[in-house]
Structure 1
Amino acid sequence: MKKFILLSFTLLISIMLVACEEAEVKKADADDKTEESSKENSKDKSKEKPETQELAIGDAVEFDGMKITLNEARIEPGGEFDEPQEDQFIAVNLTAENNTEDEQVMSSIMNIELKDADGYSYSTTILTEGIKAQFDGTVEAGGKLRGEIPFDVAKSDSYELHFSDPFKSGKAIWKIPADKLSK
């Protein structure tokens, strides 16, 4: 019986690993000239490690046909009933543009993570006031989704906003210096 359970577990893990694939991550340009060079280098990319993009506030990245833009990062005071457990709330404002032919799902919990300069990771929190719209939902083909994600964080000299797909390798990272946070 133990051998059967071990064999089943091994088979399940093997199937899960085969199902994972590499995401195509590239910095989005205004005129999108990177498409030509990515087609030329697509054969070489299959041999390379997954690409990680480091970006700044205002930069956009193409992530598997989705154009993700960090529009703003700010310190958010929250509402009357909002009290940070750490030092402060930080809200990030993102836009996702679906350049694929299929609906895509954006999830602030599954796709987004904020890290401070010491490497501590923060997940999303809930604010009763100050957030315009959540960055969660389905984006139809050719459509856009814009929303905000609040985080309860410790004060730090800088932060990194990580965007990834939990089922694929590759990651986009926006560097956010503390002095660039709007108030």
Structure 2
Amino acid sequence: MKKRLWFILVFFLTIGLAACGDAEIEEADDKGQEGATSDNPEEQDDNQEEDKNTTERFAIGDTVNFDGVNITLNEARIEPGGEFDTPENDQFIVVNLTAENTTDEEVTMSSIMNIELKDAESYSYSTTILTEGMKGQFDGSIEPGGKLRGEIPFDVPKSDFYELHFSDPFKSGKAIWEIPSNQLAQ
């Protein structure tokens, strides 16, 4: 009986690890297509291998192609909260994102599993609840060719800058948007 349980555990662990891999991350051009590449096939292969193993950094307004999904950080702003929303730290920061599925399969976005915000001291913050001033959630499935736009609130202390991290928990690599405090809309 123990051998059978051990075999089943090893089998599922092997399957799970086989599903893990590197995410393909690159800046998308203005038309929502993947970024420009070299005409030389050898250089293209070298560039693709380097891209798979690096963390890319972007700015507000940039669109990133993350495994066939174009993700844009449209805006980052400070929200005051309301009668029932008081920040435990210094302020609420809300990020507004759009995801466009350019693949042939449905994809799922999760503000809890895919997104985190870090401050200048590298402290990480996950999404919080904010009932006022929000325009939709960045959670759900996106059909092929479809889009999802939503907002994610964070309760954070004041910082010189923030970094919005997007990743797939089952793959390595992430896209990071840098958000200087002086670029936060009020």
**Fold match (TM-score > 0.5):** yes
Q: How does 1:62-81 map to 2 (within 5 A)?
A: 62-81=65-84
Work out the CA distance in 1 between the residues paired with 2:105 and 2:154. 30
SS at match of 2:138: coil
Q: Deviations over 1:21-57 (max 9, x none)?
A: 1111001111547355499456433477523110000
Work out the CA distance in 2 between the residues paired with 1:28 and 1:71. 14
State the shift of 1:9 in Å. Answer: 4.7
Report the RMSD for the aligned CA atoms in angstroms. Answer: 2.4
Letter of the 1:136 counterpart: D
Point out where structure 2 has 5 or more consecutive residues left out of the alignment: none
Residues 137 and 166 from structure 1, CA distance in 2 versus in 1: closer, same or farther, beyond 3 angstroms? Answer: same
SS at match of 1:109: helix
SS at match of 2:30: coil
Residues 34 and 48 from structure 1, CA distance in 2 versus in 1: closer, same or farther, beyond 3 angstroms? Answer: closer
Letter of the 1:99 counterpart: T
Work out the CA distance in 2 between the residues paired with 1:134 and 1:38. 40
The answer to whether residue 97 in structure 2 is matched with residue 94 in structure 1 is yes
What is the percent sequence identity of the aligned residues? Answer: 63
Q: How does 1:7-156 map to 2 (within 5 A)?
A: 9-31=9-31, 32=33, 34=35, 36-37=37-38, 40=41, 41=43, 43-44=45-46, 45-46=48-49, 50-156=53-159
SS at match of 1:132: coil
Point out where structure 1 has 5 or more consecutive residues left out of the alignment: none
Letter of the 1:101 counterpart: D
Question: Across the two proteins, how many residue pairs are aligned to each other?
Answer: 183
SS at match of 1:179: helix
